[in-house]
Structure formats: structure tokens, C-alpha cells
Amino acid sequence: MPAINGDRLWADIVATAGFGGTDKGGVTRLTLTEEDRQVRDWFIAECRSLGCTIEVDRIGNIFATYPGEDPSLPPIAVGSHLDTQPQGGRFDGILGVLAGVELIRTLKETATVLRHGLTVVNWTNEEGSRFSPAMMGSGVFSGASRLEAIEALIDRDGKTVLAALETIGYRGETAVGHVGFAAYVELHIEQGPLLEATATEIGIVTGVQGVRWFDVTITGTEAHAGSTPMAQRDDALVAASEIVLAVRDIARRHAPGVGTTGSAAVGPNSRNVVPGSVQLQIDMRHPFEAGLDQMQAALEQAIGAIDARVALSHIWSKQPVVFDPGIVDAVRASAATLGYSATEVVSGAGHDAAHIAGRCPTAMIFVPSKDGLSHNEAEYSSPEECARGADVLLQTVLQIDLK
């Protein structure tokens, strides 16, 4: 039974962390930046050296395909993303891409020939930290977003996605969505505490929580902090505080849902001025659409009860996803074959696999995250944990290939 080389995979993790590496051991590699270009170039060079063909589509997704025995069959795809959050970690996303490269090396050196080709994918802008929405490349690929609309999005400096793609040389010529996959399997760190807390080696991911994003604008009246009596204040930040607490309480009432107010911009943001405006960004998630409906209704009700001028906008959503039972079974069987402890989990974070599930049979594999940390420079999964995940990925691909 072929097995991946864990030391070689770990060496790749260490090496690629240098593209945008931070002093604290993390990575800042925002999508379509110079650092992103560097790691993309590295990925393509490695895959070409292994005999892969490379395609880059118009949104910058990269497809590296190692040939199979029967070119008439659609390839099996694995992968994830190379971009990170600001001051992010060295495992989030890239583990799935590097594991794909290691699978190809293993197939090559063991002379293992698949019937299907094996495609390793890097999806553009999974994180959504420079351009919103997240999961941008896979969203365009799956048809969830229009290419032209995504190309026109701008970052905080006013640069468009299209211009950023052209700047780093990754606006490809291949049509988006050109290729079909026999299946797609994504290896990822858990980004949560459950596997570590239960000393479980592998997470068998059965689906992904739905997500809804909201923008909130609260309009008050700016006034002098010293001469305006408390009873006569129209303080936008006080009203915003009530909304922040409401988001927390709504999530607690709708377990296992979660709610986060992740951004607040206060105007004029001066110590001695009563705030006249606040803008909030809210993220709500739940494994079921009905749960999201209930959470949104509760948010609207809570905002309606606040004595302030508040505008709520629902700006983006992703429905909950249930992964293909057949591919989930293949992951389960692979973990069992290798003797690894495993449990079923629903992903709390969004992933490219959630989009790709609408195009082909899809599932995910999780490995533990130390202390549940992710989007953090201290993010860590051990060499052994990463190797186990890659071995389960390899065995899952081998099982799919036999079907």
C-alpha cells in the first residue's frame, strides 16, 4: 500500500511558509499580492517537475494535472488555497495543496498508475481578506458568482481583482469552469478544538455550515463629550453595543449556531466626541438553513427594538452543504484501513469544497489544530497530524479511482 513521505510534506510546509512569513512564525500572504505570486510560481514549478500539465483560468485558479491511464475519464481533484489572512498561519489552506503535490510524488516514485488523472487545485482568494466575498475562485468556477462582477471588485486601495490578477501575471486564458471532476476531496486543518479535545486523529467532514453576512450602519449625532448631558445624547456606539450583545445572545439561543461581530468602525473616533456613526460587520453561521432563518429573524427583531437609526443589509450568504455520502464513506474507510481514530464533524468554517460540492461528489478531511487556533500566527498541526491527513487523502483517492 503506497504511503506519503511525511518528512517531505513537512519540509514543503516549512519552505512555503517563507512566502510572506512573519517574525512570529505565521504568514501574511494576501491573495494576488507579490507573496501570492511567489508561492504560486513555486507550486507550478514543483508540479511541472513531476510531469503535470498546468492550466490557469481567468480568475487565477490553478489546475495541475498528473496524467492517468484513461484520458477519457475526468480527473479526481484535490487541493485548497495558497492565500492567507493577515498575520495568519502556515497550515490553513496550503496543507491541502501541498498534500496534493505529495500525492503526485508518491504515485510517481511507487509507479502507482491511476485510471483517472489527478488534479491538484489552488483556488483564488478563499480567505476573502483582501477582496470580498471569500471562496471567490471556487465561487466563479461553480457558477455561484459571475466572473465579470468578481473582476470588478476593489480592495481598500481601489485596485480591482482584474488589475491584481494582471499585475502578478495570473489572469489565465482558460475558461472558468472548463473542466469536470470525477470527485473532489479537500484536506484541511480543523480550525477548531474538537479533534484535539477528544484525542481524535481524523475528522470525517460530512458538510459545511451555512453562512450569512450582514452590514449594519448606526447613525447618531456627534456632540461634545463634556457639555452634552447624558439624557440628551444620541450615541451611535451605545446602540452598536446593544447590537453586538444581541448577536452573541442570538447565537447562544440557536446552538449550534455561532454569531460574530468582527468589525466596527466608529466615527469620528475621537475621545471627546459622542460617536455619531458606527458601521458593524456581522457573521452568522448554522448547519441548517432553518437555523439561519431563525437567527436572521432574531437579529432583525433585536435591531427593530433599539431606539436608534439603524440600517441592516444582508450582503452575502452561503447555504449549508451536505457532502456526498459515497465520498464521505471513502474517507471513513480510508481512516479505518490506516488504523486512525476518526469522527464525523460538520465544518464551522467555509471552504472551497462547499462550492465544488455543487459540481461533483465532494468531501473533506480534517486534522487537529493545536488549541483550536487558526487565522493566527500560532496556528499549528504537527508533522504527524499532517502526514496522517495526507495518507487518508491518498487512500481516499485510490478508493475513488477504483469506482
How far from 61 is each of 37, 103, 180, 317, CA to CA, in Å? Answer: 12, 20, 14, 22
- Global pTM value: 0.88
Helix (H) or strand (E) holding 83: none
Q: Would you say 205 and 364 are in contact if contact means Cβ atoms under 8 Å apart?
A: yes
Angle at 75 between CA 74 and CA 80, to 5 degrees: 135
Provide φ and ψ at 138, rounded to 5°. -70, -30
Residue 316: per-residue pLDDT: 85
Residue 203: per-residue pLDDT: 98
Instruction: Give pLDDT tens digits for 161-213.
Output: 999 999 999 999 999 998 899 999 999 999 999 999 999 999 999 999 999 99
- Measured CA to CA, the distance from residue 58 to residue 56 in angstroms comes to 7
DSSP character for 75? P
Sort strands 210-219 and 118-122 into parallel, antiparallel or unpaired: unpaired
- Measured CA to CA, the distance from residue 213 to residue 211 in angstroms comes to 7
SS3 content of the chain, % helix, strand, coil (to 5): 35, 25, 40
**How many CB atoms are closer than 10 A to CB 372?**
16
Q: Would you say 373 and 381 are in contact if contact means Cβ atoms under 8 Å apart?
A: no
Q: Would you say 71 and 56 are in contact if contact means Cβ atoms under 8 Å apart?
A: no
Q: Is pLDDT of 376 > 90? A: yes
**How many CB atoms are closer than 10 A to CB 215?**
15
Instruction: Write down all domains in the chain, each with its CATH number in brackets.
Output: 6-209+320-402 (3.40.630.10), 210-318 (3.30.70.360)
Instruction: Give pLDDT tens digits for 316-366.
Output: 888 999 999 999 999 999 999 999 999 999 998 889 999 999 999 999 999
34-49 and 6-16 are packed helices; what angle lies between their axes, rounded to 10 degrees?
150
